[in-house]
């Protein structure tokens, strides 16, 4: 029984050695691209300077979402009937 359990516990490197298979090739590490924060900031700023309406649309949408959320939360409490 113990002899069979050693076969189950054997690691891949040892098993490959016993079978006469060459060691597994190491995979290359994946290198993530580096982000250039200055370039991204410059692109965003140039876009906002070119189209200043984007800021008004963004803030207007955010305010509308907040007001809608308040109505959604407080509507079940029937505060308007006071």
Exposure class string for 34-64: b at 16+ Cβ within 10 A, else e: eeeeeeeeeeeeeeeeeeeeeeeeeeeeeee
Phi and psi for 78 in degrees, rounded to 5?
55, 50
Number of domains the chain is built from = 1
Direct distance between the N- and C-terminal alpha carbons of the chain, in angstroms, rounded to an integer:
80
Domain with 65, as residue range(s), is 48-82
Is 57 contained in some domain?
A: yes
Query: Does residue 52 sit in helix, strand or coil?
Result: coil
> Tens-of-pLDDT digits for all 82 residues of the chain?
455 555 566 788 888 888 888 888 888 888 888 889 999 999 999 999 999 999 999 999 999 999 999 888 888 777 555 5
Is 22 contained in some domain?
A: no
pTM for the predicted model, two decimal places: 0.45
Is 76 contained in some domain?
A: yes
């Amino acid at each position: 029984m113990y002899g069979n359990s050693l076969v189950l516990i054997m690691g891949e490197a040892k098993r490959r050695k016993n079978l006469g298979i060459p060691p597994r090739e190491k995979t290359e590490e994946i290198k993530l691209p580096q982000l250039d924060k200055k370039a991204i900031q410059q692109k965003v700023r140039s876009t906002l300077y070119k189209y200043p309406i984007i800021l008004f649309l963004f803030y207007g949408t955010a305010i509308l979402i907040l007001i809608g959320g308040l109505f959604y939360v407080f509507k079940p409490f029937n505060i308007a009937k006071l």
